[in-house]
Chains A and B, each alone.
Chain A
């Protein structure tokens, strides 16, 4: 089996230092839309300068390089145990090269492992698929925005949110309100409807891999994504919570089957630094990045 460790180090570098172009376009558009001279416009301008500097100097866009979340899609024949080992070696090496901040802390002793490996750290999900190539998607999910992520159980009496898409809309807007600027607005919302408490959050995070400019294949969800984005921006929280027109840059919704008794809505709030990168390994071993 091919050793992908070096290729994975490069994947981490790309994710940490190079903001995807769809995110950059959205931030540029948001800056042009804010009042010139406002704190909101200034914040977005600073963000864009920072993105450019990070890209040129190969420095982490944000010092909180987050939880590395790997989604691995592999054809039959690959060893997930070997891949896990290579991913762990790669994040340790990427940490040594300062592409990542040491971010894995022992929950009992408070000790930082120093290399981003630890118990269930980094996060790795494997999916065997029909394709003949291997794909690794990586998301670096920061802690500030993770802390404002939220899960609701419908119906929610206080928000008058029932078990329907309008109820979903209400609780998501509440989550954006509760987050204020603390998740480094303007953010991207990955939302899952259904599942259990655990699978729902995973599904919500997986939505963050979708390109901002894609359209949900379900027309009802596509309309809901658009409406929530529009209404979240009407809240006026703005970049960094300074006030302004841009509070979210995108909304992506996925669904899962659920128990009759449960109706969860999970909101994975992602900061403006929606750092994701993708790598493909073809059948002849050639590695390409997207």
Chain B
């Protein structure tokens, strides 16, 4: 198993290929539907409103050579006000396909973690900008929550707990590279092979 630490140099990402198991470490940010819509509509397309300026600067710093995780966690707020993660498996990534290439390009992301894989736009962005899609095990929620060692910040909590942008430090977060920066996608390969099999089973083609 390879180990990667955020911030991730481009060369480390370019060395990865589909099928590689990776143990991820460092500070990452959670973001799913509302966060991606917000980032594209309010920050990337611009102009950035005054009230969003501070967050925009923070995200530029966090996401440069960084990683976004598609996840809506179950969290616990402790009496002293600090947060911890209870359950934090990946959510389905394809919903972010319309936003992801822009987010990778604009912020200089090196990795996107989720489940189910993404489409051609993201695959191309991975090639063009040096990024990978990392597949976490869907539903392995407490196991992944155990990798979340610390909650450093939460942005846009008004989106709701699952949709907020949680900034966390992870250790030994287990993922598999299913889309690499060389144009390869396990998802595309499995889809094509299963299409041929389906056609044979139902008498088409």
Residue numbers of A with Cβ under 8 A of B are: 39, 42-43, 46-47, 49-50, 53-54, 57, 59-65, 98, 100-103, 105, 110-112, 114, 142-144, 147, 159-161, 169-170, 173-174, 177, 180-182, 184, 231, 234-238, 240-243, 271-273
Contacts of B72 in A (CB 8 A): 63-64, 101
Residue numbers of B with Cβ under 8 A of A are: 19, 21, 34, 71-76, 86-89, 91-92, 94, 115-117, 135, 137-143, 145-146, 159-163, 174, 176, 178, 186-187, 189-191, 193-195, 197-198, 201-204
Q: How far is the CA of A241 from the CA of B161 in the complex (A)?
A: 28
B154 shortest CB reach to chain A, Å: 14
Q: Are A102 and B137 in contact (CB under 8 A)?
A: no
Q: Are A59 and B141 in contact (CB under 8 A)?
A: yes
A13 shortest CB reach to chain B, Å: 13
Contacts of B204 in A (CB 8 A): 159-160
Q: How far is the CA of A105 from the CA of B160 in the complex (A)?
A: 9
B164 shortest CB reach to chain A, Å: 10
Q: Are B91 and A144 in contact (CB under 8 A)?
A: yes
Known A46-B143, A102-B162, A143-B92; further 20 A-B contacts with Cβ < 8 A: A47-B137, A49-B143, A53-B142, A61-B139, A62-B140, A63-B71, A63-B162, A64-B91, A101-B73, A114-B160, A144-B92, A144-B115, A159-B202, A160-B202, A181-B115, A181-B116, A181-B187, A236-B194, A240-B138, A241-B186
A233 shortest CB reach to chain B, Å: 10
Q: Which of B71, B115, B137, B142 is in CB contact (< 8 Å) with A54?
A: B142
Q: Which of B137, B163, B193 is in CB contact (< 8 Å) with A43?
A: B137
Q: Are A144 and B116 in contact (CB under 8 A)?
A: yes
Q: Is the interface of B mostly helix, strand, loop or mixed?
A: mixed
Q: How far is the CA of A42 from the CA of B140 in the complex (A)?
A: 12
Q: How far is the CA of A160 from the CA of B199 in the complex (A)?
A: 11
Contacts of B160 in A (CB 8 A): 102, 105, 110-112, 114
